[in-house]
Amino acid sequence: MILYSSNIKEFVGNVTNRKIANLLEHLKKKELYKGTSSSEKKSWENSLIYISYILKKSKIPNDATIVLEYNIPMTSSRIDCMLFGFDKNRNKRCIVIELKQWSNVKRVEDSEMLVETYINHGMKKVIHPSYQAWSYMSLLNDFNKNIQSNNIIVDSCSILHNYHHCNNDPLLDDKFRGLIEETPIFYVDDEISLITYINDKIIYGDDCKIIKEIDSSELLPSKSLQKNIASLIEGNDEFKLIDNQILIYEEILSLIKKNEKNVIIVEGGPGTGKSIIAVNLLAKLTKSGKICQYVSRNTAPRVIYSYKLKGTLNNNSIDNLFKSSGSFTDVKKEIFDVLIVDEAHCLTEKSGLFSNYGENQIKEIINSSKCSIFFIDENQKVHLNDIGSKKEIQKWANMLQANVTNFKLTSQFRCNGSNNYIEFIDYLLNINFSYNKKINYDISVCDTIQELDKIIKKLNRKNNNARIVSGYCWNWNKKEINNTNYHDIIIGDYGISWNLGTKQTFVIDDSINEAGCIHSVQGLEFDYVGVIIGEDMFYKNNKLCTDFNKHASSDPSFKGIKKLYIE
């Protein structure tokens, strides 16, 4: 959706006459039905005055095009600024620009795409501005049919018009080198370089024609993306389907071919192959030209499965196929062919950091797609505000007039493919009340945390696939979130830090000296796991008991439980 578009001459006039911020505020309310905060309006004024200044000093023709706040189809994201025109060879060109008002940035040591800056009265972790611009460019290249077929060249850059070069600049770390080569970053003292960048790309105007081609285009995954994801799946043993996984996979594909409004619910316990089917469907459907995304609430599964496909954590268009469950609050009806929702039991009603966006994630996902697939295990809910259930999905499917099909995965592929282990755990947790089978697994109950630590570290030497995890019985210090030497969990003279950093790659990191949590391991696998059991779980009168009062107050998962308990 185009919020604002004009030729360069008209835009410069709107800025000069101090009309641009009020005009954007009016258009946002009219087109998006949203208000504008004073801070957003101020950012428009400051950033666009700078852009106007740069354009006036450049050689960009008056009949070239500028677009502001362009809403990318398939997302709730808006591109700050885009420039359009023709280069010296008469090629159609588009420049995607991310604008930032930052003046100070700190590095985030354990992340390849995040930095830290001052936002809303405090330091916050945010995406590197060039990565943000690159991701928007990548989305357009990968899914816009007219860009692909009409040979429109899309470039991207980020502009920080209040930021000065400094020694050992966090934004220019070596880990960002490849990113910045593809999507350059310009500071306030890079005026000449920025003008040269624009002059080299746009020589002739287009009179608003190119943006109309892009905005009116069908959505279609590019041939390179289709080929890329197919080759990544083929020959990858981690994603092989077997037994009733294949049956359900084929049944789902048959339903999708009918091109009807479908909601598919796939129920299965831990280790039954829900995620494997989800990733295979993502690859198959993308290869066939469907607009498809893998969706989860937790970041860790998206990062890990994207990594396992690519074999790297570096920037790659494959990342655009993996999205948060809160990404569909403002997405058009049925813009996706298929949305594949893993760990659907963790969906929430509202989205956003403060749970203040959207209406209902289940409704938004079903509304945004012709077919939505929910992989679910109601026994794995984590937060009190988790709403993912078969009943809730069925309710919204009925309201949105979708056909509902249910499947159930039963075969166990984790724990050496035996259901006995899962049945034994269910018995311990009072989910099942009888168990009289023998199991042949390495199960130990350690008297001390030191003993547990020693066993897991020894097992990890084999192939780096053993980890320590813990429940939320210890408060943690957010200021030390990335400091492995700060021990949140202290038991006697033993201490260990939480894996609560920003990368969400605990599973594949060298993290043997840290403790993971449910959010970093749910839906993922290890050879061995050592579990630190806190005071919230205890054995009494031959029965496993829990006490939520012993749960860490710093964990929001149980927020509101005391009120519910009183009621």
Residues 317, 325 contacting (CB under 8 angstroms): no
Q: How is residue 463 written in tokens? A: 């192939």
Instruction: For domain 223-409, give the CATH number.
Output: 3.40.50.300
* Structure confidence at residue 141 (pLDDT): 92
* Structure confidence at residue 535 (pLDDT): 87
The three-state DSSP-derived secondary structure of 93-129 is EEEEEEEECCCCEEECCCCCCEEEEEECCEEEEEECH
* Structure confidence at residue 501 (pLDDT): 65
* Distance separating alpha carbons of residues 173 and 168, to the nearest angstrom: 8
* Structure confidence at residue 64 (pLDDT): 97
The pTM is what?
0.77
Q: What is the pLDDT of residues 201-252, one digit of tens each?
A: 999 999 999 999 999 998 888 888 888 787 777 767 677 887 788 899 999 9
How large a percentage of the chain has pLDDT more than 70? 91
* Structure confidence at residue 76 (pLDDT): 76
If one counts every other C-beta atom within 10 angstroms of the C-beta of residue 188, the result is 15
* Structure confidence at residue 190 (pLDDT): 96
* Distance separating alpha carbons of residues 36 and 103, to the nearest angstrom: 23
Residues 159, 194 contacting (CB under 8 angstroms): yes
* Distance separating alpha carbons of residues 521 and 519, to the nearest angstrom: 6
**Through-space distance between the first and last CA atoms of the chain, rounded to whole angstroms:** 47
What does 414-483 look like in DSSP terms, one character per residue?
SGGG-HHHHHHHHHHTTSSS-------S-----SSHHHHHHHHHHHHHHHS-EEEEE-S-S---GGGTT-
Q: How is residue 527 written in tokens? A: 């050879």
Residue 328 per-residue DSSP state: T
Specify which residues 259 forms β-bridges with: none
- Break the chain into its structural domains and give their ranges: 4-215, 223-409, 442-561
What does 196-257 look like in DSSP terms, one character per residue?
HHHHHH--B--TTHHHHHHHTPPB---HHHHHHHHHHHTT-GGG---THHHHHHHHHHHHHH
**How far, rounded to the nearest angstrom, does the alpha carbon of residue 72 sit from its chain's CA centroid?**
16
* Distance separating alpha carbons of residues 229 and 293, to the nearest angstrom: 12
* Distance separating alpha carbons of residues 55 and 8, to the nearest angstrom: 8
Contacts of 322 (CB under 8 A, 6+ apart): 293, 294, 295, 296, 302, 303, 305, 306
Mean pLDDT per 10-residue segment, the chain (567 residues): 92 94 89 82 92 97 96 85 97 97 87 83 86 92 92 96 92 92 95 97 96 92 82 73 87 94 93 87 92 88 76 67 89 93 92 78 96 92 86 96 93 60 73 69 86 93 88 82 84 84 70 84 79 87 82 73 62
If one counts every other C-beta atom within 10 angstroms of the C-beta of residue 189, the result is 10
Residues 64, 84 contacting (CB under 8 angstroms): yes
Q: What is the pLDDT of residues 83-121, one digit of tens each?
A: 999 999 999 999 999 999 999 999 887 677 889 898 877
